[in-house]
Structure 1
Amino acid sequence: MRNLLRRSGVVAVATATLVVGLARQAPACPFCSAVSLTFAQEIAQSQAAVIARLVEPPPAAALSPRAEGPLPKGKFAVVEVLKGADLVAEAGHVGADGIPIETILLEEKPVGTLFLLMGIEPAQLIWSSPIPVSERAVDYLRKLPVIPDKGPDRLAFFQKYLEDPDETLARDAYDEFAVAPYADVRGLADRMDPSQLLGWIENPKVQANRRRLYATMLGTCGTKADADRIGRILARAEMSPEQAEVRSGLDALIACYVTLRGVDGLDLIDELFLRRRGREIPFTETYAAVMALRFLGEESDSVPRDRVLASLRLLLEEPKLADLVIADLARWQDWSAIDRLVELFEKAEADNIFVREPIVNYLRACPQPGAAAAIVRLEKIDPEAVRRAATLAAFAGPLGAKPDGTAMTSGKTQNGDPDGDPGDPSAGPAIRPQEAASATAQAMTADQAIAMRIPAVLADDEATDDTPGIDPSRPAAARLPSAAPGIPATPAGGRAKLVKWTVWTVIVLVIGLFSRAALRVGGSGPSAR
């Protein structure tokens, strides 16, 4: 019992931590993923930060992989205080007679090497693992407190360090762009160098994640001539196997190309990655194209959403790939695919049976006549698929409700006209009660019914992010191809509501785990049979 409860508690804590962490993410560079916390973030989370010089390295024997005993520690003398001068002085680390900082050091470095150390828990201060820094990096760290906290002017500082010879600085500059709102990246466009960005994109030695950033940046500042060079990369024109590495980060390259070329650019994307006609196209390339189309559909300055939807609908001709785009069609309220989706449901076989649940949820979200009747008809073919779709919809209902009880609608209509925040990429389709609810409600389990009755916990209507941009969770969430289209994502203004509702759901699940564990143990006593 104790082990079971402990395991349940660990799962619950991990789940809650993940939920809160995801909810706190801000709209960021759409194709970039930060490698680690930035220096600015790490220093902000610490109470003290210093530049220190190694004065006594750990014994060489202690650094051996076979060494036993406590972890090796080095001693460091403070050279410069970056944050928390009073705390560092109170701990006795300042001055010629200052007490050396002693902390874990797991690599062999010569005496005199400079490190960044960060401390918490005054007055004694607990110090982090040391990060080796160069003299240039020290100068870089000194400037962090004086640059703007956000906006294009902040990125202008870090832009100078992209692909810097000092890899520590290049990595940190990339991470700053990766966590910056996409609107800030666009705001920097007139200070970017398209030729330099294109050179990095075409360099096969540049890391794929950084190529994604440079393609995203080029999409904001490049020309049609730059688009033609990106087009040759997409088409593999005159490319050796070594040069083919420049196609890594394909999703960002596709988005860059179409952004610069406009509507005509989608014709090439359709032909290369979506319109198969019996050709073998790697799934990873098709998926990259879908990711790019999602970005283009949200940031529709370059192409109308109707044209993006036309490209997405091409995959409805591929039964094994259709589930990639069904949620997008529903989210953007494209109800022109009802007949085709019903046909896909009816003809689904073992190798694409997974397409049925997203089709049902598409129909649940559809306000057009005939959608509810189609669900009733499809339930006779596969009641289990309809039941599973209802399970997803059970949790979608509370998440999709506004404070006034109405359903949330997408940020833009199908023709691209805004009916909400035009910068909000996460708004979902309107969800209305369907006549088919009576047919699917019977298939719901008691647990699902309870979940439906749990009211949403609503927060005050305070803003959580005043910067429009691309939601980084959109590409990530889209990797679940069978995501229910009936589950609308929450706009930026409702992020606090989503956090509190999700945490409440986690609490309910934890209580259920503990209750079930207690009942199970209670039934295993001497009187149990």
Structure 2
Amino acid sequence: MRRSIWFCLGLGLCLAAKAYGNGGHLWSIGVIGRQLGELLAGCPFCSAPSLTMAEQLAQSDAVLLVKWVGGKPAAGNDGGTTDFEIVEVVKQPSGSGFKPGGALSLVRYRAAKAGTLFLLLGTKGGAVIDWGSPLEVTVESFTYMKQAPSPDVPTTKRLKYFMKYLEAADQTIATDAYGEFANAPYADITPLAPEMPRENLRKWVLDPNVSPSRLGLYGLMLGLCGKPEDAAILEQKILEMSEDFRLGIDGVMGGYLLLTGEEGLAKLEASKVANKKAPFSETYAAMQALRFMWQYGEGKIPAERLRQSMRLFLERPELADLVIADLARMKDWSIQTRLMQLYGQEEYDIPSIKRAIVRFLLACAKDVPAADGSSGAVAQKPEHAALAAKYLAELEAKDPKTVADAKRFFFIK
């Protein structure tokens, strides 16, 4: 399970809340989903299988390449058996005695054509080996798996191998290579920028035959390795008209911002945030791209400019609780008075938004300089913290239940 899985969960729950009106509890779950996603390692805009082939091979005690010979079909309560001939022994426990040309029979019949290749992965359990379900392979996919660097090799070095196979004709290979990138921390992907296949990435981003699940990675990679003229390709993809949820478009937006900085941010604001006709999912994706630039942008867009952009999302009530949490993380204490004006107003009169405002004020009130123990002097409370304390007192008098609820699960990350 990876970061974009939680993106989809958070988005789905937010969409549900939008559809059902005052479903504030769903918005709260959306916040939780996004926060859990931030705790998971991996490419910021990717989804991935739980284990890649290299990881599965490394965790297995026995790995055999076999070919299908025959077997006994299932009958009644008898599941039958399947017979294989061992073609190659990749690894095996000491004393197992497997060797090419040997026979192996597994419980349960699996139909196949004679000579079809399978990969068997086994785990030693006492004196026997427990075999997993046979995985059908080709000579090419088996060679790819066998030659793949083990998980013990530094990630960036490993990715150089997998990068060659991102759009391999064999889908088993292509999917696994993508999974390696999706599992990799962003910091281990960025050093590969000079070696990324820029020309291929330009094609893949616009190719309708490329799996949508890979769009986020390819958009991000083009943003890392591309030239200024490549921004037009990403912009073309971003501005495509679609009412459907576009998996990975947040990664394309992130790559676009890496290439264009403030200029691209202004275009993204106009097309996906200020534009009220933009689908909710597109606006949410733009928010994801903004969060990405805050965490990974390394000053490409100034911090204050990112805060200014995030404030725009306050105009979308369906995103308000998420935005308020982000602005607290960004320490944008300038919006306190604005939040107090929004508290309880029409579309913002929802429990999750009210709790988000209270938690914003709690974080702001606690953002004070550490006491200087050496001098014994008491640090003067900053103006923003004093104002937050004042607003908290007002809310506690007006709406004590919401304040109490917000405090129950309040923590500062």
Aligned residues: 357
Please state if 1:39 is matched with 2:43. Answer: no
Please state if 1:73 is matched with 2:81. Answer: yes
TM-score, normalised to structure 2's length? 0.80
Unaligned runs of 5+ in 2: 1-35, 366-384
Please state if 1:297 is matched with 2:290. Answer: no
Partner of 2:148, secondary structure, is helix
Q: Could you tell me how far apart the structure 2 residues matched to 1:150 and 1:291 are? A: 28
Q: Give the percent of matched residue pairs that are identical in Structure 1 and Structure 2.
A: 39
Counterpart amino acid of residue 248 in structure 2: G
Asked whether the 8 Å contact 2:343–2:349 carries over to 1, the reply is: no
Q: Which of these residues, 142, 158, 164, is aligned with residue 168 of structure 2? A: 164
Q: Could you tell me how far apart the structure 2 residues matched to 1:333 and 1:58 are? A: 67
Q: Could you tell me how far apart the structure 1 residues matched to 2:296 and 2:341 are? A: 32
Asked whether the 8 Å contact 2:46–2:248 carries over to 1, the reply is: no
Please state if 1:211 is matched with 2:215. Answer: yes
Q: For residue 194 of structure 1, report the CA deviation from its aligned partner.
A: 1.2
TM-score, normalised to structure 1's length? 0.63
Higher relative contact order (CA 8 A, sep 6+): 1
Q: Could you tell me how far apart the structure 2 residues matched to 1:105 and 1:292 are? A: 49
Q: Could you tell me how far apart the structure 1 residues matched to 2:179 and 2:405 are? A: 40
Q: For residue 57 of structure 1, report the CA deviation from its aligned partner.
A: 3.9
Asked whether the 8 Å contact 1:203–1:246 carries over to 2, the reply is: no
Q: How do 1:318-397 residues align onto structure 2 when only pairs under 5 Å count? A: 318-348=316-346, 352-367=350-365, 368-393=385-410, 396=411
Asked whether the 8 Å contact 2:354–2:402 carries over to 1, the reply is: yes
Instruction: Identify if the C-alpha distance between structure 1 residues 308 and 71 changes in structure 2 by more than 3 Å, giving closer, same or farther.
Output: farther
Q: Could you tell me how far apart the structure 1 residues matched to 2:205 and 2:95 are? A: 45
Asked whether the 8 Å contact 2:245–2:281 carries over to 1, the reply is: no
Asked whether the 8 Å contact 2:88–2:100 carries over to 1, the reply is: no
Please state if 1:285 is matched with 2:290. Answer: no
C-alpha offsets along residues 4-25 of structure 1, whole Å, 9 cap, x if unaligned?
A: xxxxxxxxxxxxxxxxxx89x8
Unaligned runs of 5+ in 1: 1-21, 397-486, 489-529
Counterpart amino acid of residue 181 in structure 1: P
Counterpart amino acid of residue 75 in structure 1: D
Partner of 1:317: 315
Partner of 1:94: 99
Q: Which of these residues, 218, 230, 233, is aligned with residue 229 of structure 1? A: 233
Q: Could you tell me how far apart the structure 1 residues matched to 2:108 and 2:50 are? A: 20
Q: For residue 147 of structure 1, report the CA deviation from its aligned partner.
A: 8.7
Please state if 1:53 is matched with 2:67. Answer: yes
Q: Could you tell me how far apart the structure 1 residues matched to 2:194 and 2:249 are? A: 25
Partner of 1:507: none
Q: Could you tell me how far apart the structure 2 residues matched to 1:128 and 1:137 are? A: 18
Instruction: Identify if the C-alpha distance between structure 1 residues 289 and 87 changes in structure 2 by more than 3 Å, giving closer, same or farther.
Output: farther
RMSD: 2.5
Partner of 1:137: 141
Deviates more, 1:344-353 or 1:181-190: 344-353
Counterpart amino acid of residue 42 in structure 1: Q
C-alpha offsets along residues 174-228 of structure 1, whole Å, 9 cap, x if unaligned?
A: 1011111212211111111211012111011211211111111111101111111
Partner of 1:288, secondary structure, is helix
Asked whether the 8 Å contact 1:233–1:246 carries over to 2, the reply is: no
C-alpha offsets along residues 280-305 of structure 1, whole Å, 9 cap, x if unaligned?
A: 32111111111111111011222122
